[in-house]
């Protein structure tokens, strides 16, 4: 088999301002995979782009120049200075690239350790690469084994207990600010996987006024019906800003859903009444300049880091057991599938 390489960055080595510039939307993947073939010379590739990481996995016959080409590809995609970007990137070949893939899929490398969303995101990234004929024997084997390892970690350890999603962390942050959320009006914008788990967490905390908003009203209706929430279309956003105490955004929109003027106008109708905005989008859903408005408290995914560190410490035993399982799975995969090369590792 070929060499398995990985180039990427995540929440540990790059702030959200950089991650959002490098993120990939689904509609960009066709061109991206085409460029990876022609410009980077990749035989196989998978692009994983989430709120906390952007990573490119690839299979190459020879390592010579591969990392430089991938660095330049990401620099061009994000419009980021190459030297500045290189200082943030990690670049691995096996066994480190294989171990990293297994750790990511299992939620052991996530900001929210054991998060539920990452397994779906890794599977989706792999399926999208397959749709574009970007994978072959090597990456098919890698991602199938990584997904299987992730399921074993989740079923054999307690890694998914407690605060195990970014949406749950957002709700926990809201509780730190407001105390009980029972009497707060919470507006959720976006009902993808993160949004669905956020609604579930809100309902579990006893929130009585949950409003669920989506560009697709039928999707909002479906999500709201499970938890006695109120479904709304995105056209009602500005009006809802006047009423909500907490707004949690989790959309895949390429531009800001909430701008400075939108929030300023809403605040003029609610003098002295604070508004908490928790932005889980990458790219960000809320214009960062909104934070300058009086009585507006804006948080993004990076602001959740300190909160989730405490939850990770509580699950340290499960983390160690998960890592033991991963080491066994990686060793078996390398023995059966991949030639061991001298491991090149570049960590910022």
Tokens of 143: 């991602």
Tokens of 197: 């788990």
Tokens of 346: 């570049």
How far apart are the C-alpha atoms of 231 and 187, rounded to whole Å?
A: 10
217-225 vs 193-204: helix axis angle to the nearest 10? 30
What's residue 347's pLDDT?
Answer: 43
Domain ranges of the chain: 3-161+315-346, 166-306
What's residue 315's pLDDT?
Answer: 73
Please list the pLDDT of the chain residue by residue as tens digits (348 residues).
689 999 999 999 999 999 999 999 999 999 999 999 999 999 899 999 999 999 999 999 999 899 999 999 999 999 999 999 999 999 999 999 999 999 999 999 999 888 889 999 999 999 999 999 999 999 999 999 999 999 999 999 988 776 668 888 899 899 999 999 999 999 999 999 899 989 999 999 899 999 999 999 999 999 999 898 999 999 999 999 999 999 999 999 999 999 999 999 999 999 889 999 999 999 999 999 999 999 999 999 999 887 777 666 667 888 999 999 999 999 999 988 755 554 444 444
Ramachandran class of 195: left when φ > 0, alpha when ψ lies in -120 to 50, beta otherwise: alpha
Residues with Cβ within 8 Å of 292's Cβ and at least 6 positions away in sequence, in order, are: none
What's residue 312's pLDDT?
Answer: 64
How far apart are the C-alpha atoms of 89 and 144, rounded to whole Å?
A: 25
Can you say whether the dihedral through the CA atoms of 309, 125, 202, 273 is positive or negative?
Answer: positive
Strand order in the sheet with 3-10: 44-49, 53-60, 3-10, 90-93, 345-346
Helices (H), 213-315: 217-225, 237-241, 260-267, 305-314
* The total number of residues written for the chain in this structure: 348
How far apart are the C-alpha atoms of 126 and 33, rounded to whole Å?
A: 12
What's residue 348's pLDDT?
Answer: 45
How far apart are the C-alpha atoms of 283 and 288, rounded to whole Å?
A: 11
CATH topology of domain 3-161+315-346: Beta Polymerase; domain 2 (3.30.460)
Can you say whether the dihedral through the CA atoms of 289, 310, 170, 265 is positive or negative?
Answer: negative
Given the residues 51, 161, 163, 276, the one annotated as active site = 51
Q: Tokens 């779906």, residue?
A: 120
How far apart are the C-alpha atoms of 235 and 59, rounded to whole Å?
A: 45
CB 26 within 8 A of CB 40: no
Q: Which CATH number fits domain 166-306: 3.40.50.720, 3.40.1390.10, 3.40.50.2300, 3.40.50.11270?
A: 3.40.50.720
Paired with 286 in beta bridges are 258
Strands 296-300 and 275-279: parallel
Q: Tokens 């509609």, residue?
A: 27
Global pTM value: 0.90
The question of whether 51 is a catalytic residue gets the answer yes
């Amino acid at each position: 088999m070929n060499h398995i390489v990985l180039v990427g960055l995540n929440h540990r080595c790059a702030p959200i301002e950089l991650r959002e510039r490098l993120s990939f939307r689904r509609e960009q993947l066709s061109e991206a995979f085409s460029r990876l073939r022609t410009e980077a010379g990749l035989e196989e590739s998978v692009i994983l782009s989430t709120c906390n990481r952007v990573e490119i996995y690839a299979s190459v016959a020879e390592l010579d120049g591969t990392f430089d080409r991938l660095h330049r590809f990401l620099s061009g995609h994000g419009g980021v200075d190459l030297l500045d970007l290189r200082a943030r990137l990690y670049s691995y070949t096996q066994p480190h690239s294989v171990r990293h893939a297994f750790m990511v899929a299992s939620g052991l490398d996530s900001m929210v350790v054991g998060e539920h969303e990452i397994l779906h995101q890794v599977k989706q990234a792999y399926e999208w690469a397959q749709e574009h004929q970007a994978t072959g024997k090597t990456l098919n084997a890698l991602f199938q084994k990584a997904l299987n390892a992730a399921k074993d970690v989740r079923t054999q350890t307690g890694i998914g207990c407690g605060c195990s999603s970014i949406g749950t962390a957002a709700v926990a942050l809201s509780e730190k600010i407001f105390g009980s959320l029972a009497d707060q009006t919470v507006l959720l914008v976006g009902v993808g996987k993160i949004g669905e788990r956020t609604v579930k967490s809100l309902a579990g905390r006893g929130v009585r006024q949950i409003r669920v908003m989506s560009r697709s009203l039928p999707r909002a209706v479906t999500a709201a019906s499970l938890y006695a929430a109120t479904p709304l279309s995105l056209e009602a956003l500005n009006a809802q800003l006047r009423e909500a105490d907490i707004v949690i955004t989790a959309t895949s929109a390429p531009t800001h859903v909430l701008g400075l003027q939108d929030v300023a106008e809403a605040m003029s109708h609610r003098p002295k009444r604070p508004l908490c905005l928790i932005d889980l989008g990458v790219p960000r859903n809320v214009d960062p300049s909104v934070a300058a408005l009086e009585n507006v408290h804006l948080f993004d995914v990076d602001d959740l880091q300190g909160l989730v560190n405490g939850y990770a410490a509580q699950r340290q035993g499960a983390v160690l057991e998960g890592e033991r399982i991963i080491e066994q799975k990686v060793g078996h995969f390398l023995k059966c599938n991949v030639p061991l090369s001298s491991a090149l590792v570049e960590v910022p």
